[in-house]
Structure 1
Amino acid sequence: MRSRYCAFAIGDARYLADTWHPRTRPSELTIDAALRWTGLRIVDTVRGAAGDADGIVEFRARWSGLGERGELHERSRFVHQRHRWWYVDGDVAD
């Protein structure tokens, strides 16, 4: 999760695509260069440890840009397959 946040922060779309599960990965991924990611707080984790097949990470990521500030609050789902963790999808909270 933290590595994906860092990829968003530095605009590394390739890393994001490479860590997105092929079943749910979008065909194109565009990162909004006008947004600056300014902080990440992990709120909760469910499973996701060594030996688990899946996991959930709830996080809040702060951003600023275009004269605004905001926060993305999401519960992300990950699966462990082929010796690595893959982002599957997430539910965005209000």
Structure 2
Amino acid sequence: MKNVCPCGSGVAYTSCCGRWHQGPQARQAPDAEALMRSRYSAFVLNLRDYLLATWHPSTRPADLAPNEPGLRWLGLTVRAHRVVDAHHAEVEFVARSKWGGRAHRLHERSRFVREADGRWYYVDGEFPEATRA
């Protein structure tokens, strides 16, 4: 399929994460997993404005550096999506990349919150393991 979404859904980008990145549904991911997938795709596509806009203000950095030259994102595996309550959720995932001739594997348990505006935001994450593959 042409223009498959980087998040690994197998769906076209415009029907998947692309709709959360721009257009009438921008930043309106329906749940924490959809937001996490869209954030992974934003990392792949170097959409720093989207990453900052979907990062909770309590933990959001002032700016994000562009992707390192030569960094390639290789894939995403969602291991778990746990709804804590109506306004809190966690997503555990593994993201693989290659940079500087070395493979890397990022394993994170991310926390998300849904604010009064109905939108989900990334808060922070724990790294059970951050190792080279």
User: What is the TM-score with the length of structure 1 in the denominator?
Assistant: 0.91
Q: Which one has the largest radius of gyration?
A: 2
| 1:44 corresponds to | 80
TM superposition shift of 1:33: 2.8
Is residue 95 of structure 2 the alignment partner of residue 61 of structure 1? yes
Q: How many residues align?
A: 92
User: Once the two structures are aligned, what percentage of the paired residues are identical?
Assistant: 46
**Structure 1 CA distance, aligned partners of 2:53 and 2:43?**
13
TM superposition shift of 1:65: 1.4
User: What is the TM-score with the length of structure 2 in the denominator?
Assistant: 0.66
Runs of 4+ in 1 over 6 A off after TM superposition: none
TM superposition shift of 1:31: 3.3
Q: Output aligned runs, 1:4-19, within 5 Å.
A: 4-19=39-54
TM superposition shift of 1:16: 0.2
TM superposition shift of 1:80: 0.5
Structure 1 unmatched runs, 5+: none
Is residue 113 of structure 2 the alignment partner of residue 74 of structure 1? no
Q: Looking at both structures, which has the greater relative contact order when contacts are Cα pairs under 8 Å and sequence separation is at least 6?
A: 1
More helix by share: 2
**Structure 2 CA distance, aligned partners of 1:74 and 1:88?**
12
